[in-house]
Structure 1
Amino acid sequence: MNRRGFLMTASAAAAGFALAQAPGAAFAAPVRKALPRLKTQQVGSGDINFGYHSAGPEEGRPVVLLHDFGYDIHSFTEVIPLLAEQGFRVLVPYMRGHGSTRFKDKSIARSAQPEALGADTLTVIDSLHHPEAVVAGFGQGAVAARAFAQLKPTRCKGIVAVDGLWRPVPERAALQKDRRGFARKLWTANSPDWRFDEAVFARAAVSFDNPDFAAILTDTPSNAAVPTVSAPVLTLRGSASGIPVDDPTARMIEGAGHNLPLEAPQAFADAIAEMVRNAKWRT
């Protein structure tokens, strides 16, 4: 059918645990009641069955949003309607190791190598019958976007990337023992000025109960090279991000940290809309 319509992320796990004693003020905001969760479906034609949320007209230009390790699809709750209202088809899968995304067989390697992450993005758009897409992500999601573009250059119409840098990940035993505590430290280190409240964290933390959460982090590569891609790339960086990235080409978003889609949703959505409208679509 014709459709017009590099991270790391567990990046700052290294930096995150190095900064594990970050101030607790990030958790001092008033506690709200449980927040609504995005409705999801399941899809997958390969080794993994992906949980995903979709929005916008089915014939709209496809946009895939990819979250970082230790975050989840709710990082995009404010971005999704901004894109759907512009007529884009928005697809937001849980990354492997998160939420309702599941491996189909116990024997399948729980890999978090860039090539595997790129193949996941391909599986999602193939399963949903989209021949091409713009892909946007932060941290591990940014790595996956670049890996997808390297894997299928003609099918990636553009990338919006935030803090796509891999770092070594220490304290794996601590993750096995207390994954929520690990994620709290990660969030605080990655966005030291962001005062998120318990309801925001609790909504995402449900996704960390995935049985492969720890295994995926364990396989995170150390200092993997950022894939070179032919697709257009627009890099963004929050001025208050705790990720140690040195990218002079990045568009600076003042006041935001690493979880830029949730901290500065309008700027993130505007960058994606710019990429979609400037892309050279074949279909």
Structure 2
Amino acid sequence: MKTIEAGALSVAYLESGPADGPVAILLHGFPYDVHAFDAVAERLSGQGWRCVVPYLRGYGATRFLSSDTLRSGQQAALGNDLLAFMDALGIERAVLGGYDWGGRAACIVAALWPERVVGLVSCNGGYNIQDIAGAKHPADPDAEFRYWYQYYFHTERGVEGLSRNRRELTQFIWKLWSPTWNFDQAMFDQSAEAFDNPDFVDVVIHSYRHRFGVAAGDGDLDALEQRLADQPDITVPTVVLDGADDGVHPLQSDDKGARHFTGRYRRAIVPGVGHNFPQEAPEVFADAVVEVGRG
């Protein structure tokens, strides 16, 4: 484990592979951690890639540098963190690969700073930049049902539930979102240590409130959030990976996000895979990184 100061954070991260290899930055989601990419990083580093896997804000050993910083989980914070992390490590260009929150950060940097991105691998629907203005309108009933946890986090009952039962609740979510993935208790426990971060609850609650417009964002990120409100296109080479058994993002036959990708683009639907794509299908994810890494 390494740490580096980057923007508002001291970021904890794993690194493997040769220092002079092509760079892949791999980004986890909620409620997961860096170990989602263990097998992906092993496969890529064995092929000469430098793999960098950071804990997002609110997870693991990543910490805020100031007690005054809003414990924001908004999309602009995640994208800004990733850019600051690349700057701190002196990484000019990299392949970005992520899912869930990490996929959102990767999409944001790919959309707004494409000169820093060789290629993108994104899961769970692909285009993960939130349309916060549109979130006030209800989705279809099936999607609303699947968002129960987000509405739960809008309440003080949800705050207490996540605080008191963070391991039980997150393990329940793992099972719901990846119903065909036979993870064992040791695998979950390894990742669940990341949820003991003192800012985990605050960051998670803010994330799920801000995306629905029920919590104000960090004022320092307003300009960036306004840029994201335009739903910018992504021009870099992209592979989108969707698990056919994803329990939170049900498979859509029509690729609604494809219109936002104007460069080389491929979508793959993989049977037997749920929400935690890189940990459930590491070979497929690693191969996608190599594919987009060709530029």
Name the TM-score class by shorter chain. 0.7 to 0.9
CA deviations over 1:80-135 (Å, ceiling 9, x no partner): 11101111110000011100000011110111121111111112211111101110
Structure 2: 5+ residue runs without aligned partners? 131-146, 153-157, 214-228, 259-266
| Bigger mean CA offset, 150-159 vs 128-137 | 150-159
Residue 72 (structure 1) aligned to one of 21, 26, 33 = 33
CA contact (8 A) 2:74 2:211 kept: no
CA contact (8 A) 1:97 1:212 kept: yes
Matched, 1:197 2:184: yes
Q: Tell me the TM-score normalised to structure 1 length.
A: 0.80
Matched, 1:170 2:151: yes
Offset, 1:223: 5.8
Equivalence for 2:218 = none
CA contact (8 A) 1:146 1:227 kept: no
CA deviations over 1:33-66 (Å, ceiling 9, x no partner): xxxxxxx110123210100000111111110000
Separation in structure 2 between the aligned mates of residue 156 and residue 252 of structure 1, nearest angstrom? 24
Offset, 1:228: 2.6
Equivalence for 2:281 = 264
Offset, 1:186: 1.4
Matched, 1:41 2:20: no
> Could you tell me which amino acid in structure 2 is paired with residue 204 of structure 1?
S
> Larger RCO: Structure 1 or Structure 2 (Cα < 8 Å, ≥ 6 residues apart)?
1
Residue 197 (structure 2) aligned to one of 210, 215, 219 = 210
CA deviations over 1:196-221 (Å, ceiling 9, x no partner): 11000000000000011111111113
Separation in structure 1 between the aligned mates of residue 109 and residue 174 of structure 2, nearest angstrom? 26
Separation in structure 2 between the aligned mates of residue 182 and residue 156 of structure 1, nearest angstrom? 35
Offset, 1:260: 1.1
Equivalence for 1:252 = 269
RMSD, aligned α-carbons: 1.8
Separation in structure 2 between the aligned mates of residue 222 and residue 50 of structure 1, nearest angstrom? 24
Matched, 1:150 2:139: no
Number of matched pairs:
239
CA deviations over 1:167-209 (Å, ceiling 9, x no partner): 6712232112211112112111110111211000000000000
> Equivalent residue of 1:180, what SS?
helix
Q: Which has more helix, going by share of residues? A: 2
Separation in structure 2 between the aligned mates of residue 232 and residue 124 of structure 1, nearest angstrom? 22
Equivalence for 2:224 = none
> Could you tell me which amino acid in structure 2 is paired with residue 234 of structure 1?
V
CA contact (8 A) 1:119 1:151 kept: no
> Equivalent residue of 1:241, what SS?
coil
> Equivalent residue of 1:170, what SS?
helix
> Could you tell me which amino acid in structure 1 is paired with residue 32 of structure 2?
Y
CA contact (8 A) 2:112 2:232 kept: no
Equivalence for 1:99 = 60
> Could you tell me which amino acid in structure 2 is paired with residue 267 of structure 1?
V
Matched, 1:161 2:166: no
Residue 245 (structure 2) aligned to one of 240, 244, 255 = 240
Separation in structure 2 between the aligned mates of residue 151 and residue 223 of structure 1, nearest angstrom? 22
CA contact (8 A) 2:6 2:81 kept: no
What are the equivalent positions in structure 2 for 1:7-46 lying under 5 Å apart? Answer: 40-46=1-7
> Could you tell me which amino acid in structure 2 is paired with residue 59 of structure 1?
D
> Could you tell me which amino acid in structure 2 is paired with residue 265 of structure 1?
P
